[in-house]
Structure 1
Amino acid sequence: MKAKYFSHSSFLEAHFESNSSFSWCRILSAQDLIKVGFRWRIGSGSSVRVCRDPWIPKPHSFQPLIRPRQLDSSTMVASLIDIDQGDWDRAIIKECFCPEDSELILAILIVRSNHQDIRLWYYSPTGLYTIEVCTTLI
């Protein structure tokens, strides 16, 4: 199904096509429910878009409020990290985000090695998505 319906994106970015099968339409109908609890855990920040992806520890959107004209939609979280220091670039963060979101972002620990960004399920203690956890949201 990936090759046919979302070969250049993730399941969470897939959308209905006019020629979609009945099975794909049923699977995709659960997409919004799944999106509710997913967020990114930051590793290198190279896979996570600042303005479009859920990544800060702020339920229910997990997205920061961006000050107007500070960042475009393609800016990656990696651009907010000072590589030499191995930590957040505090000046950029305070300039681009509201005070509440700045504090949430600065509280996210940066791993110094080049770890991948990982999707986590917020509503599970393990961070893994399970049907049992999802049914509590229904």
Structure 2
Amino acid sequence: MGLRRRIGNGQSTLAFKDPLLPRPPSFLPITRGLHEEMKVSDFFQQPGLWNNELIRQPFLVPDSELILQIPLSPYDHSDSWCWHYTRIGYYSVRSGYNLAISLDRSGTSTSANVLSAWGK
């Protein structure tokens, strides 16, 4: 629900299958293609730099625009998981609670579902 990939060297994140886009709730690209096993690193021009033309070929416009906004590091570190709902990417009980409350207020979830999830 709130976990997505933080891109490092792009070697362990699948570009079409893994949740990498800053677009809740699924964080998945809406583009489906023939190249579903391609890694994010296949779309780098060089480490730390997206290949704009290559990204715009297979991806739909909404996906390509979001991908190009993802910051890349010039350093070779592994991809990791991050919690979308905090600035630093770490989950906290407070951020999970705030997400549950906002879902309840928006009608995405019922109070009973929110409370039962917290009771488990």
Do these two structures clear the TM 0.5 threshold for a shared fold by scoring above it?
A: yes
Equivalence for 1:11: none
Which structure ranks higher in relative contact order (CA pairs < 8 Å, sequence separation ≥ 6)? 2
1:53: Cα distance to partner?
A: 1.1
Question: Structure 1's 95 and 67: CA in aligned 2 closer, same or farther, altered over 3 A?
Answer: farther
Asked if the contact 1:67/1:98 (under 8 Å) is kept, the reply is: no
How large is the Cα RMSD of the aligned pairs?
1.7
Long gaps (5+) in structure 1? 1-35
1:132: Cα distance to partner?
A: 3.0
Equivalence for 1:19: none
Q: Among 51, 68, 80, which residue is 1:89 paired with? A: 51
Q: TM-score, normalised by structure 1?
A: 0.65
**What percentage of residue pairs aligned between the two structures are identical?**
33
Q: Among 89, 99, 112, which residue is 1:127 paired with? A: 89
Instruction: Report how many aligned residue pairs link the two structures.
Output: 100
Q: Among 55, 64, 71, which residue is 2:20 paired with? A: 55
Equivalence for 1:78: 41
Long gaps (5+) in structure 2? 101-113, 115-120
Equivalence for 2:31: 66
1:67: Cα distance to partner?
A: 4.6
Equivalence for 2:72: 110
1:129: Cα distance to partner?
A: 1.3
